[in-house]
Amino acid sequence: MEIFSSRDAVHKYLLELRAAGKTIGFVPTMGALHAGHLSLIETARRQADIVVCSIFVNPTQFNDKSDLENYPRPVEEDIKKLKDAHCDIIFMPEVEEMYGKSESWHIELGDWDNILEGKIRPGHYQGVTQIVKKLFDIVQPDYAFFGQKDYQQFMIISQMVRMLHIPVQLIVCPIIRENDGLAMSSRNVRLSSEERENALALYRGLTKAAELFKTKSIDQIKNEVNAFLDSAPGIEPEYFEIYDAGNFKPITDKSAGSIIALVAARVGKIRIIDNMILKQG
Ligand code: AMP
């Protein structure tokens, strides 16, 4: 496994591999790796000849300074996990390697920038698209792998790829959960044991939604799940919404081909997001 911190060096190394006919699969991450990240590496390994994983805690996508400062950075453990997962290349640059002193970025993302996560974290998706575009330029992957866990992010990156004609195929991978259902997240390590228990309400709300989906209307599901979340101990719900998973717009009936429920809540100081497909397209 090769480890790079220089963008030029990794770019050149990958150019040679591509010239030798190898396909490149890319998994961008912010590190603090868990089984969810490793499942993306595994999928990438099946799809591409060479797997590149980036680890970069991107400052421009954090609108909460203390979240950025407290974001876990277990570098040595991450390197070991990636080695064990047979990742070929790690790209882990410093912030100065990725950003000049004064840089601006704006991409028109329409409504998707201002709803759900975009509404609660203003500027978040501008930061996400800024770094993903830079990483795509450096790595020039044939395939890039993203988790359904961050479904809105996947939709937004898909939109950027379409708008900017970036020659990459995006692949969305299923959410990996703990045994009790909690979606794996790098931030989970910051939950106390009581918060960890309380955080399960999000998964329970989603499974409730999936159950209700069989018999109830969208409005009824939203009312019941919102009431459940409001009464769940130790969490502050931020949203529970049901969207058309294809055009990523809110729905009022079940006619859309694929339907997704999305939830976010604060558990103590930590924000947790999760989602579940209610109807598969
Ligand atoms: P992050 O390090 O949080 O930026 O996540 C890097 C990638 O891993 C993103 O594409 C996430 O959607 C994905 N990911 C995070 N958590 C999970 C999970 N529990 N299951 C599957 N993929 C995940």
- Is the per-residue pLDDT at 172 higher than 90? yes
Of all protein residues, the one whose alpha carbon is nearest to atom 19 of ligand 1 is 184
* Cβ-Cβ contacts under 8 Å for 60 (sequence gap 6 or more): 99, 105, 123, 126, 127, 130, 131
Cα separation, 121 vs 124, whole angstroms: 5
Q: What pLDDT was estimated at residue 278?
A: 98
Please tell me if the CB atom of residue 146 comes closer than 6 angstroms to any atom of ligand 1: yes
Q: What pLDDT was estimated at residue 166?
A: 98
Please tell me if the CB atom of residue 248 comes closer than 6 angstroms to any atom of ligand 1: no
Smallest CA-to-CA distance from 229 within 240, 218, 219 is with 240
233 Cα to the center of ligand 1, angstroms: 26
Q: What pLDDT was estimated at residue 220?
A: 98
Q: How confident is the model at residue 102 (pLDDT cuts 50, 70, 90)?
A: confident
Q: Which range is least confidently modeled, 32-36, 62-66, 166-170, 217-221?
A: 62-66
Q: What pLDDT was estimated at residue 86?
A: 98
Provide the residue ranges of all domains of the chain, joining segments of one domain with +: 2-173, 186-274
Tell me the three-class secondary structure of 200-235, residue by residue.
Answer: HHHHHHHHHHHHHHCCCCHHHHHHHHHHHHHHCCCE
Q: How confident is the model at residue 260 (pLDDT cuts 50, 70, 90)?
A: very high
215 Cα to the center of ligand 1, angstroms: 32
Mean pLDDT of all residues in 201-220: 98
Is 37 catalytic? The answer is: yes
Of 34, 37, 106, 165, which is the active-site residue?
Answer: 37
Please check whether the domain covering 186-274 is classified as CATH 3.30.1300.10. yes
Please tell me if the CB atom of residue 30 comes closer than 6 angstroms to any atom of ligand 1: yes
Task: List pLDDT tens digits, range 244-255.
Answer: 999 999 999 999
The domain made up of 2-173 has a fold known as Rossmann fold (3.40.50)
Query: Which ligand 1 atom minimizes the distance to the CA of 37?
Result: 8
Please tell me if the CB atom of residue 149 comes closer than 6 angstroms to any atom of ligand 1: yes
Task: List pLDDT tens digits, range 46-98.
Answer: 999 999 999 999 999 998 999 999 999 999 999 999 999 999 999 999 999 99
